[in-house]
Amino acid sequence: MGVGIRVENLNAWYGPTHTLKDVSLHIPANRATALIGPSGCGKSTFVRCLNRMHETNPTARAEGTVMMGDLDIYKDAAPVEIRRRIGMVFQRPNPFPTMSIYDNVASGLKLNGFSKRRVLDEIVERSLKQAALWEEVKDDLKKKSGASLSGGQQQRLCIARALAVDPEVLLMDEPASALDPVSTSKIEDLIFQLKSQYTIVIVTHNMQQAARVAENTGFFLTGKLVEFAPTHKIFTMPSDKRTEDYITGRFG
Amino acid sequence: MMRINFQQKLDELKERLLVMAGLVEQAIQRATEAYSTRDTELCELVKLSEPAINRMEREIDQAALDLLAMEQPMAVDLRFIIAVIRINADLERVGDQAVGIAGRVKDLGMFANLDIPVDIPKLASLSQAMVRKALQAFIEGDADLAQSVLTLDDQVDEMNREAFRSLGELIKTKPEMSSQALNALIISRNLERVGDHATNIAEDVIFWVRGADVRHGWAPEED
């Protein structure tokens, strides 16, 4: 099951640049939460702070509190463990190109010490089914490489890979922006299904996508969280003029 | 980046609705003038305006639908288009009321020296003022002005109730005047409906500007 995330006074820097300023919000469990805002507003930095990916950049640092359930992710656990529990899917599908479909999905498990063939088989099948890819690849699991799949299939493969290690939260950074409308629709359907089991945070430039998949939406601007509210409210009657100006295309 | 093309289309939609509003206001004005002057030619003009009003209603609906589908508007723009669709329907129905009044005036025209205990011109002037004010609020995006229309509706309702009472009495005491009284009663009811549509238009302006649904006396904080 998914778990909620509570963020308090989160600040982040890249070198001297203060990219995230005093962000506080509560991401509810088993819901999809969308983050929107113009390029450079800090939304991607924010999600990278949630699973401590941000600190993989040597000039980057973050301060503040991020609680996943009762776990303080900056104090109580190692980054590797956090990244297992909070999976991430990126804008461009990034399957391991030389690995088979099967090995792509199993890679995280193997890194975590799983080696029993039967267990691996089961988890690979379950993950590919959850990612709505199983039917399309089940006959070629070990014959084809991840790179041989279409863009949309590759992205679902990456989702299956993220799900295989049994995370509680799934972060998606513009997961459909490089995909055609049909593949985008499949990813959105998938998000809908996955949120019964996982907490999902999706960064998107596509506001219709946010409106379609997310229960709550946050609007970021110049490193600050301007507004966080139920999605229907953000897109019909936002409280803040800046949110309204952005989503109606008056700037951004 | 400002969506200039989209903003122009919204402006065009507003202009078209105002042209429609002009036709409707003219129809209701002519119908009530026809009542005062018993001018059956004016009644004919009101009837002739109906197809144009209906055509404009369809065109505005289509333009609004196109904008919803093609531009996927959000927030204030979305509320504006929804308000236009609703106001469009209300204006068309004000046009229908005008046609209804014109029909009754033609019937009344046969009866000379009508003496009925109801001030129809005053009711007409009040309901027309409501329409004008609601449309002015729409033009200016002025929710306060729209709010003031809502209070006028009570006066119109009261006048209509009074007409119902006094004309009912007239029918009882002077049965020979039943036909005039019934026509006057229907006209009073038509004008009361015009006031209701003006109220709807005002509520739609408030929805567009403030994002608050105040229909049926509902206040957002009650939710």
Reported as a single tens digit per residue, the pLDDT across B66-94 is 999 888 899 999 999 999 999 999 999 99
DSSP code of residue B59: H
CB A228 within 8 A of CB A222: no
Q: What ipTM was estimated for this complex?
A: 0.71
Could you give the domains of chain B? 2-217 (1.20.58.220)
CB A28 within 8 A of CB A4: yes
Mean pLDDT value of segment A110-117: 87
Provide the angle, in degrees to the nearest 10, between the axes of the packed helices A151-164 and A101-111.
30
Over the stretch B140-189, which tens digit does the pLDDT of each residue have?
Answer: 999 999 999 999 999 999 999 999 999 999 999 999 888 888 999 999 99
Structural domain span for residue A181 = 5-97+167-247
The predicted structure's pLDDT at residue B88: 98
The predicted structure's pLDDT at residue B111: 66
Q: Does A238 sit within 8 Å of B3, measured CB to CB?
A: no
Which residue among A244, A251, A252 places its CB closest to the CB of B75?
A244
From residue A5, give the alpha-carbon distance in Å to each of A27, A37, A163, A169, B77. Answer: 5, 20, 18, 9, 33
Which residue among B1, B2, B75 places its CB closest to the CB of A238?
B75
Q: Does A235 sit within 8 Å of B76, measured CB to CB?
A: no
**Banded pLDDT at B114 (limits 50, 70, 90):** low
Closest by Cα among B101, B109, B180, B131 to B21: B131
In a domain, A137, yes or no: no
Nearest-angstrom CA–CA distance, B48 and B72: 37
DSSP code of residue A173: E
Closest by Cα among B158, B114, B154, B137 to B203: B137
In a domain, A25, yes or no: yes
Q: Is A7 exposed, middle or buried (0-12, 13-18, 19+ CB in 10 A)?
A: buried
Lowest pLDDT segment from B109-113, B114-118, B133-137, B153-157: B109-113
What amino acid is encoded at A23 in this protein? V
The predicted structure's pLDDT at residue A179: 84
Decide if A212 touches B, using CB distance below 8 A. Answer: no
Indicate left, alpha or beta for A71 from its phi (over 0: left) and psi (-120 to 50: alpha).
beta
The predicted structure's pLDDT at residue A115: 85
Q: Does A208 sit within 8 Å of B75, measured CB to CB?
A: no
Q: Does A252 sit within 8 Å of B74, measured CB to CB?
A: no
Sheet holding A17-27, edge to edge: A17-27, A5-14, A60-68, A71-72
In a domain, A118, yes or no: no
The predicted structure's pLDDT at residue A120: 95
Closest by Cα among A201, A177, A181, A182 to A191: A201
Query: Is residue B105 predicted with pLDDT exceeding 60?
Result: yes
Nearest-angstrom CA–CA distance, A168 and B122: 69
In a domain, A17, yes or no: yes
HEC string for B39-52 = CHHHHHHHHHHHHH
In a domain, A71, yes or no: yes
Query: Is residue B222 predicted with pLDDT exceeding 60?
Result: no
Nearest-angstrom CA–CA distance, B83 and B67: 13
How does the average pLDDT of chain A come out, rounded? 93
| Shortest CA distance from B3: residue in chain A | A249
In a domain, A69, yes or no: yes
Q: Closest approach of chain A CAs to the CA of B97, in angstroms?
A: 33
Decide if B211 touches A, using CB distance below 8 A. Answer: yes
Lowest pLDDT segment from A18-32, A228-242, B168-182: B168-182
Over the stretch B28-54, which tens digit does the pLDDT of each residue have?
Answer: 999 999 998 889 999 999 999 999 999
Which residue among B1, B2, B74 places its CB closest to the CB of A247?
B74
Which residue among B3, B72, B211 places its CB closest to the CB of A236?
B211
**Residue length, chain B?**
223
Kindly report the CATH number assigned to the domain that includes residue A60.
3.40.50.300
Which residues have C-beta within 8 Å of that of residue B54, sequence separation ≥ 6?
A: B92, B95
Query: Is residue A137 predicted with pLDDT exceeding 70?
Result: yes
Mean pLDDT value of segment A224-231: 97
The predicted structure's pLDDT at residue A66: 97
Residues of B in contact with A207 (CB under 8 A): 72, 74
Q: Which residue has the tokens 């006066």?
A: B155
Residues of A in contact with B6 (CB under 8 A): 249
B61 token code pair: 């609906």
Q: Does A236 sit within 8 Å of B2, measured CB to CB?
A: no
Q: Closest approach of chain A CAs to the CA of B4, in angstroms?
A: 9
Over the stretch A179-188, which tens digit does the pLDDT of each residue have?
Answer: 888 888 988 9
Question: Helix or strand or coil: residue B5?
Answer: helix
Which residues have C-beta within 8 Å of that of residue A188, sequence separation ≥ 6?
A: A176, A209, A212, A213
Distance of CA B205 to the CA centre of its chain: 14
Mean pLDDT value of segment A65-73: 95
Q: Does B211 sit within 8 Å of A247, measured CB to CB?
A: no
Q: What is the DSSP string of B132-180?
A: HHHHHHHHHT-HHHHHHHHHHHHHHHHHHHHHHHHHHHHHHH-GGGHHH
Sheet holding A216-221, edge to edge: A86-89, A169-173, A199-203, A32-36, A216-221, A224-230
Mean pLDDT value of segment A155-182: 92
Lowest pLDDT segment from A95-109, B110-124, B141-155: B110-124
CB A172 within 8 A of CB A115: no
Q: What is the percentage of chain B residues whose pLDDT exceeds 90?
A: 78
Q: What is the pTM of this model?
A: 0.83
In a domain, A145, yes or no: no
Q: Closest approach of chain B CAs to the CA of A39, in angstroms?
A: 12
DSSP code of residue A145: B
Q: Is B105 exposed, middle or buried (0-12, 13-18, 19+ CB in 10 A)?
A: buried
How does the average pLDDT of chain B come out, rounded? 91
Q: Domain tally for chain A?
A: 1
Q: Does A247 sit within 8 Å of B1, measured CB to CB?
A: no
Q: Does A238 sit within 8 Å of B6, measured CB to CB?
A: no
The predicted structure's pLDDT at residue B112: 57
**Banded pLDDT at A230 (limits 50, 70, 90):** very high
Decide if B72 touches A, using CB distance below 8 A. Answer: yes
In a domain, A115, yes or no: no
Decide if A235 touches B, using CB distance below 8 A. Answer: yes
Mean pLDDT value of segment B206-219: 84
Mean pLDDT value of segment A89-118: 92
Closest by Cα among A182, A164, A141 to A87: A164
